[in-house]
Structure 1
């Protein structure tokens, strides 16, 4: 399957066509420019009908902002975990 290049606005349009609510398209496009559509697409799967079967429609009520918040929370957790000093541990 050939993947075609899409601008950030086209990526947002595609997500909306699949049923994802996007409250602020400019903010969503800016976020995609930093994070990358394909990196974020792994998070989409939790809100999609049946991505394993090729049904990439979003469940009713799914929002870009919810997915963005989950991604950002996970990144914050990773940053905190990376700050933990490595020490010799005895178990």
Structure 2
């Protein structure tokens, strides 16, 4: 259980930093992170970090796949986590 918590903290921190870095890169020309990368990190457990990054840095807030998608991913992850906890613990 502790490994799962460590994983979630790390992946959420990485996702938060990806949103920050992509916002920083968006202000000047150059290489940015794809939406697939940002959503991918959110989907593997970093949805909370993605939501905080999106809100803190006002990044991707006008894209429905982010302002609707990230909360939906989070609800789905919470549901799956609750089901697995209930089923196995």
Structure ranking higher in strand proportion: 1
**Is the radius of gyration larger for structure 1 or structure 2?**
1
The structure with more helix, counted as a fraction of residues = 2
